[in-house]
Amino acid sequence: MAQKIIKKTIVKKKINENHYTQHGRIYITSTFNNTLITITNDKGDTLGWSSSGHRGFKGTRKSTPYAASLAVEDVARKLIGKGLKTVDVFVKGPGAGRDSSLRAIKSSGLSIISIADITPIPHNGPRAKKKRRV
């Protein structure tokens, strides 16, 4: 009896060139501990991402405005090379990296079409956490 030899092949997904466009959306999630930046196209497909922790900052330095601006510059530099020119910016969260990341987008050469704050605000939901006393 002859044994069948099963060959396994790895299928690599080919990136569609239409995936990269001239217009995109930047989602900035700024928490008290980190700042996350995601750039998507209009369909919602992720084109690139970065964060303060991804840039090499650890601990409390992740939450600084400087770390947030470096994370924005990192991902913007990659995508400007791919042809991205204009963006809509969506900001979420109360962190320190909100304003500095917007300034970094403007200085990176991307043209900002609109800025929207999408921070979730409860309409009298569950009881809030107690205020921190220092």
Residue 114 sits at the vertex; the CA angle it makes with 28 and 83, to the nearest 5 degrees, is 75
Q: What is the predicted pLDDT for the residue at 104?
A: 96
28 DSSP β-pair partners: 37, 91
d(CA 99, CA 131): 24
> Domain 21-117 belongs to what topology?
Nucleotidyltransferase; domain 5 (3.30.420)
The answer to whether the pTM exceeds 0.85 is: no
d(CA 40, CA 23): 9
Q: What is the predicted pLDDT for the residue at 16?
A: 57
- For 94-130, b/e burial (b = at least 16 CB within 10 A) is ebbbbebbbebbeebebeeeeeeeeeeeeeeeeeeee
State pLDDT tens for residues 31-51. Answer: 999 999 999 999 999 999 999
State pLDDT tens for residues 46-92. Answer: 999 999 999 999 999 999 999 999 999 999 999 999 999 999 999 99
